[in-house]
Amino acid sequence: MTSLPEWIHTLKVIALQKTFGGSARLRGLGVVVSVVIAGLAIFALTHALKNVDYDEVFGAVRRTNAGTVVLALMLVATSYGSLTLYDLLALRTMGRTDVPYRIAALASFTSYPIAHGVGAVALIAPVIRYRIYSYHRLGVFDVANISFLTGLTFWLGNLTALGLSLLGAPDAISLIDFLPAPVNRWLAVALLLGVFAFLLWTWRQPRRIGTRRWPVRLPSGPVVLLQIAIGIVDLGAAALAMYVLIPAGLDIGIFRVIVVFIAATLLGFASHTPAGIGVFDAAILIGLGGEGRESLIAALLIFRVLYHFLPFVIALGLFGGLEGWRSMYAKR
Q: Are 49 and 65 in contact (CB under 8 A)?
A: no
pLDDT one-digit tens code per residue, 43-97: 666 666 677 777 888 898 999 999 999 999 999 999 999 999 999 999 998 888 8
The residue ranges of DSSP E strands in 93-249, in sequence order, are 208-210, 215-217
Q: Looking at the domain assignment, is residue 27 inside a domain?
A: no
Domain count, the chain: 1
pLDDT one-digit tens code per residue, 102-159: 999 999 999 999 988 887 777 888 889 999 998 888 888 889 889 889 988 888 988 9
Q: Looking at the domain assignment, is residue 39 inside a domain?
A: no
**CB neighbours of 220 closer than 8 A, spacing ≥ 6?**
202, 203, 206
pLDDT one-digit tens code per residue, 249-265: 888 888 889 888 988 88
Q: From CA 301, how far away is CA 281, in angstroms rounded?
A: 9
**Dihedral in degrees, nearest 10, Cα atoms 274, 279, 280, 284:** 160
Grouping H, G, I as helix, E, B as strand and the rest as coil, residue 120 is coil
Q: Looking at the domain assignment, is residue 313 inside a domain?
A: yes
Q: Looking at the domain assignment, is residue 26 inside a domain?
A: no
Q: Looking at the domain assignment, is residue 49 inside a domain?
A: no
| Greater pLDDT, 270 or 108 | 108
pTM score of the predicted model: 0.84
Q: Looking at the domain assignment, is residue 37 inside a domain?
A: no
Q: Looking at the domain assignment, is residue 41 inside a domain?
A: no
Structural domain span for residue 160: 4-20+62-331
The vertex-10 CA angle with 9 and 16, nearest 5°, equals: 85
Rg, Å, the chain Cα set = 20
77-81, 239-243, 321-325 — which is least confidently predicted? 321-325
**CB neighbours of 70 closer than 8 A, spacing ≥ 6?**
none
> Mean of the per-residue pLDDT values for the chain?
82
Kindly tell me if the per-residue pLDDT of 316 is higher than 80.
yes
Q: Looking at the domain assignment, is residue 16 inside a domain?
A: yes
pLDDT one-digit tens code per residue, 3-26: 445 545 555 555 555 555 445 555
**CB neighbours of 85 closer than 8 A, spacing ≥ 6?**
104, 108, 230
